[in-house]
Structure 1
Amino acid sequence: MTSVSIPRRMKGVQIKNFGDAEVLQYKTDLPVGVPGHGEVLVKNEFIGINYVDVYWRRGMMGIPPNGIIGREAEGTVVSTGAGDVNSLKVGDRVVWLAMGGYAEYTIVPASLAYPVPADIKPGVAAAALLQGLFAMSLSHKIVQVKEGNWALVHAAAGGVGLWLCQLLKALGAKTIGTASTAEKMKLAVENGADYVINYEEEKDLVKTIEEVTGGYGVDVVYDGIGKDQTQNNVNVVAKHGTIVTYGAASGFPAPISHATLTAKNIRFVGPAESALMRNIGGGFEKWCAKLFDTIANDKINVVIHDTYSLSEIVRAHKDLEARKTTGKVLAKP
């Protein structure tokens, strides 16, 4: 096992109870672990904050190991365990997708850590990984969007939303986004949306989308909002179209009857089916290579809302839940 000088204690955030943002406890004396077989220890430099972390904090996703949530981070390998560690070595800059990101150090399976390309600026890999991979799986695998397709992206100025707008543009699709403020609408347009609707002000979203599409509707709906848009999604999706739900910011989507789906031959993909790891499976390395190639070749704009101190994690979560953020939220230990 190769290693460098590593402290015994670290900064991090733990939850001992589920609930609102106040259950997130910032600590400075958490133990630093030792990587086991096939694992590496990463000193995190940029930590990705995602809405799924809110679900973990509320107890909707199970109990996180050691009470530490956070699915991704970017940092430096400082120790490697025994066995196959995918040729990773001490000093390598990596981005990883696992669990335990709200900490200064994280033990990660080597199979879920990827070397960051040299031309990627600090922080961008952490900002791109989960949301970028997720958006790619939604637009390239779960639904294979084709040139000329109509797509509706709810929360188009959010982290996944901005990625979808850009990826759909690169695929030649026509994208309608929804957002809640003029600032967010502008950001969505700047990042590939062809039309954007203010869902806070628009009284008849369905009618507006029908007018934009000439009565056709949309081939695919990407919905990370949930309950509030369930009926609108059914009404605007075209015959043989697909509704993809991947989040529940407003609550879980209301059940859609079999009769409703079959009336237009609608395909419905729920959160369990749209889950990232379910769709990239054991192809993490391949998908990461594709992600960073896409950033370079399609000139993807990785939008970072702000970088908080990890000690400000309560404020970061409150801003995220209040929909005060656009793009990616990061933290530094």
Structure 2
Amino acid sequence: MHAIRIQEHGGPEVMRWTELPDPVPGPGEALVRLGGAGVNYLDVGARSQGAGGWAAPVVLGAEGMGYVSALGAGVTDLAVGDRVAWFYHPGSYAELLAIPAAALVKVPEGVDDATAAGLLMQGLTANHLSTETYPVGPGDTAVVHAAAGGVGLLLTQLVKARGGRVIGLVSRAEKAAAAEEAGADHVLVHSGAGFQDRVRELTGGRGADVVYDGGGADTFASSQLALRPHGVHAYYGPFMGVPTLRPTDLPDSILLTYPVVHHHVPTREALVRRSAEVFDLVRAGRLTQRITGRYPLAEAARAHADLESRRTTGKLVLVP
């Protein structure tokens, strides 16, 4: 089988289409033939600097879907031929994978392969942000960074589904239409700091209830200044830079949190339940995964380059 492997960290040029031995599923694992892999900024951080413990040499990729082709000893809740998806398994840019069965969820009818391949990492993140991180309720105002990106488009839809109002931030004017189509009530074009005054204008001077900030260090202070007193700054953009902070720097008694999707699905039961919530919203037509780029797996480097250009919207997926 082939996989996208790096020998050293760097730009997209370090990614190599490499022939490797076929994996063999061990006890508690399933052998999965890849149907598609999602492309995430996590993958970019792993490739460029080994962020998150991805030390080279390593096969890249964390998210995907595929078809069960063999089962290891002790696996009883899956069958050969099942369509399955996962939100985190290191080495997902590969034609074949041996994955712990506990990390896999079945893909229901009504969810196509491309959607399933790129849904769970960002879908579970958006679900986490809009429920446990800050449970959006009717009338709440949320600022969504990168509102035309993969997480942003899903998060906007989930906030609207829960009765909230969305102020979306996009880096380029041509991205505004995608955010509006997802349901954003207002879209601001900002590539960095300085948007807090406009947010306060749109909220009658009060400030937003929550800011979902995947924008990185450059937007950190403005996100906090855009909040109402005791508002929530949900910072989930570590791969875009980590700012320094003293607790006394926090304005207006705001609450700062660093939400991690693994804490949303800490058990097998939680993974199955939360994944079902996301899949059910897709099947009901209340959540749409906007796939804007499909690339052959062997051309994953091109997908990385396009993602890093910040010219893309929606989700990019790799197909074998």
Question: What's the TM-score bracket when you normalise by the shorter of the two chains?
Answer: over 0.9
Shift of 1:251: 2.1
| Correspondences of 1:250-269 after superposition (within 5 Å) | 250-252=240-242, 254-261=243-250, 263-269=251-257
Corresponding position of 2:298:
311
For 1:59 and 1:207, how far apart are their aligned partners in 2?
A: 37
1 CA distance for matches of 2:239 and 2:203? 27
Counterpart contact for 2:7–2:57, Cα < 8 Å: no
1:32-68 deviation per Cα after TM superposition (whole angstroms, max 9, x unaligned)? 1111111101000111111110111121111369711
Residue 67 of structure 1: aligned partner: 58
Partner SS for 1:280: coil
Cα distance, 1:227–1:86 mapped onto 2, change above 3 Å? farther
Shift of 1:122: 2.3
Find out whether 1:279 has 2:270 as its counterpart.
no
Distance 1:64 1:163 in 2: 30
Between the aligned partners of 2:182 and 2:54, the Cα distance in structure 1 is 36
Residue 196 of structure 2 corresponds to residue 206 of structure 1: yes
Q: How does 1:84-233 map to 2 (within 5 A)?
A: 85-97=75-87, 98-200=89-191, 204-233=194-223
Q: What residue in structure 2 maps to residue 242 of structure 1?
A: 232
Partner deviation per Cα, 1:134-161 (whole Å, 9 max, x = no partner)? 1001111111111111110110000000
Alignment: residue pair count: 316
Alpha-carbon distance between aligned partners in 2 of 1:30 and 1:62, rounded to the nearest angstrom:
22
Q: Give the RMSD, CA atoms, in angstroms.
A: 1.6
User: Aligned equivalents of 1:203 and 1:259: distance in 2?
Assistant: 20
Structure 1 position 88, deviation (Å): 0.4
Distance 1:48 1:208 in 2: 34
Identify if the C-alpha distance between structure 1 residues 322 and 249 changes in structure 2 by more than 3 Å, giving closer, same or farther: farther
Question: What do residues 244-271 of structure 1 show as CA deviations (whole Å, max 9, x unaligned)?
Answer: 111145422x22321232x41211112x
Is the contact made by 2:140 and 2:165 (CA closer than 8 Å) also made in structure 1? yes
Q: Give the SS at the match of 2:116.
A: helix
Task: Please report how far the alpha carbon of residue 304 of structure 1 lies from its aligned counterpart in structure 2 after TM superposition.
Answer: 0.3
Q: Distance in 2 between matches of 1:215 and 1:86?
A: 57
Note closer, same or farther for the CA distance 1:66–1:79 as it changes in structure 2 (3 Å cut).
Answer: farther
Report the Cα distance in structure 2 between the residues aligned to 1:297 and 1:265, rounded to whole angstroms: 39
Alpha-carbon displacement from aligned partner over 1:272-323 (angstroms, at most 9, x marks no partner): xx11112211111111111111212352111001110112111111111111
Which amino acid is 2:273 matched to?
K
- SS of 1:78's equivalent in the other structure is strand
Q: Spell out, residue by residue over 1:43-98, the C-alpha distance to the aligned partner (whole angstroms, 9 max, x if none).
A: 00111111110111121111369711211111100010001x25101111111232
Which residue in the other structure is 1:54 paired with? 44
Counterpart amino acid of 1:305?
A: T
Q: Is the 8 A contact 1:225 1:249 kept in 2?
A: no
- Report the counterpart of residue 325 of structure 1 in structure 2: 312
Structure 1 Cα separation of the partners of residues 76 and 116 of structure 2:
19
Q: TM-score, normalised by structure 2?
A: 0.94
Q: Distance in 2 between matches of 1:66 and 1:106?
A: 17
Contact 1:65 1:100 in 2 (8 A): no
Letter in 2 for 1:255: T
Does the aligned pair in 2 maintain the 1:137–1:280 contact within 8 Å?
no
Judging changes above 3 Å, is the alpha-carbon distance between structure 1 residues 278 and 156 closer, same or farther for their aligned structure 2 residues? same
Q: Secondary structure at the match of 2:119?
A: helix
Q: Residue 249 and residue 222 in structure 1: after superposition, are their counterparts in 2 closer, same or farther (change >3 A)?
A: same
- Residue segments in structure 2 that go unaligned for 5+ positions in a row: none
